[in-house]
Amino acid sequence: MPTNNPPIFDGHNDSLESFLALNRAPRDFLIKNTEGHMDWPRAEAGGFNGGLFAIFVPPVMTMKPDPDMDEAQHINPAIYQPVDFSHAREWTQKGMESLFSLAADSQGRLRVIREIRALEKALQERVIAAVMHFEGAETIDPKLKNLETYYKDGLRSLGLVWSRPNAFGCGVPFTPNTSPDQGPGLTVAGKELVKACNRLGILVDLSHLNEKGFWDVEKTTSAPLVASHSCVYSLSPSPRNLLDKQLEAIAASGGLVGINFAVGFLRPDNKRDADTPLSVLVRHFTYVAEKFGVDHVALGSDFDGATIPKEIGDVSGLPKLLDALRGAGFNEEDLAKIAYQNWLRVLTDTWK
């Protein structure tokens, strides 16, 4: 494990879904794999110490962990169709079982984190701190009857939507060169869900949410605004990215944006080309830090859920990113904030 780098807490990975889709046992995470971006040996080599582990409900038509996997899926409207509650509940249960099985099999090397002191301890001890995150709220009852149960089970971060509509709001598609201002704002149930998350201490994630929904959250929430895995629209015009006025609001709230490593959200042409230079990724960190402050930018890799730069390759390549950030002028204090301190601050301000 790199000893000269700070702990790394990352805002998003789809590794649980990747393992489910490939019919792997959770314990397979503990041995080195030839597929995907994440496993224990490579995480240890890269200095990865935890993050939001997404539980994702795949579109019925694909059942794939990665909706960005090929160009055809981007233009297939079926991936953006709503999913029903029973389908969402089934996949959410599978994801939760996978996470808890992984923790049980890991002999303490991976811990499901529910409170800040446990997170601080895991970061200090350099074990993997796994925060349960639902990527989309389809499994939440519109009357919120099961939200507290999921909280008791360990839910500590919730994306209101994936890139499709649900009972709470509307997500954006992946169509390049289009605006995030697509679709209506939050429903009445969506606003109530935000308030309930505030009361319980569940982080509300704005990634995948459309612009009107973003501003509805901004008006409703009492917690810092967070986009766990998004990039800068001014540098890459994807509707999945954030406008400057959204980034300004995030900073004003004391929140953060976790920069996504997905090359289609990094490049000005939105192409999913793994040969994208690491400098293109670094530009997004630099842009947010210079315009809105280094306190409001962090990591949101999207490991196992996107095409990422070959120079990083997988989780073991994280030290290359930190070195590239050093080369771009970030000092060690800045790097510690980007690597974990900003996430720790926001979770401290959000959780109860």
Asked if residue 305 is part of any domain, the answer here is yes
Please indicate whether residue 92 or residue 30 has the higher confidence score (pLDDT). Answer: 92
Average pLDDT, the chain: 93
**Is the pLDDT at 35 greater than 90, yes or no?**
no
What pLDDT is recorded for position 326?
Answer: 98
Contacts of 219 (CB under 8 A, 6+ apart): none
Query: Residue 319's CB: how many other CB atoms inside 10 A?
Result: 17
Average of per-residue pLDDT across 275-295: 98
Asked if residue 30 is part of any domain, the answer here is yes
Query: Residue 226's CB: how many other CB atoms inside 10 A?
Result: 32
How far is the C-alpha of 262 from the C-alpha of 296, rounded, in Å? 19
Please state the domain count of the chain.
1
How far is the C-alpha of 121 from the C-alpha of 124, rounded, in Å? 5
**Is the pLDDT at 139 greater than 50, yes or no?**
yes
Report angle CA 150, 152, 156 to the nearest 5 degrees.
Answer: 70
**Can you give the pTM of this predicted structure?**
0.95
How far is the C-alpha of 178 from the C-alpha of 237, rounded, in Å? 7
Write the burial class of residue 269 (CB in 10 Å: 0-12 exposed, 13-18 middle, 19+ buried). exposed
Asked if residue 1 is part of any domain, the answer here is no
What pLDDT is recorded for position 69?
Answer: 43
Write the burial class of residue 329 (CB in 10 Å: 0-12 exposed, 13-18 middle, 19+ buried). exposed
- For residue 61, what pLDDT band results from cuts at 50, 70 and 90? low
Q: Which of 146, 176, 201, 174 is nearest to 76 (CA)?
A: 174
The answer to whether 198 and 222 are in contact (CB under 8 A) is: yes
Asked if residue 329 is part of any domain, the answer here is yes
Range of the domain at 157: 8-350
Residue 191: give its domain's CATH number.
3.20.20.140
**Is the pLDDT at 2 greater than 70, yes or no?**
no
Per-residue pLDDT of 192-229, as tens digits, reads 999 999 999 999 999 999 999 999 999 999 999 999 99
**Is the pLDDT at 72 greater than 70, yes or no?**
no
Asked if residue 3 is part of any domain, the answer here is no
Write the burial class of residue 56 (CB in 10 Å: 0-12 exposed, 13-18 middle, 19+ buried). buried
- For residue 77, what pLDDT band results from cuts at 50, 70 and 90? confident
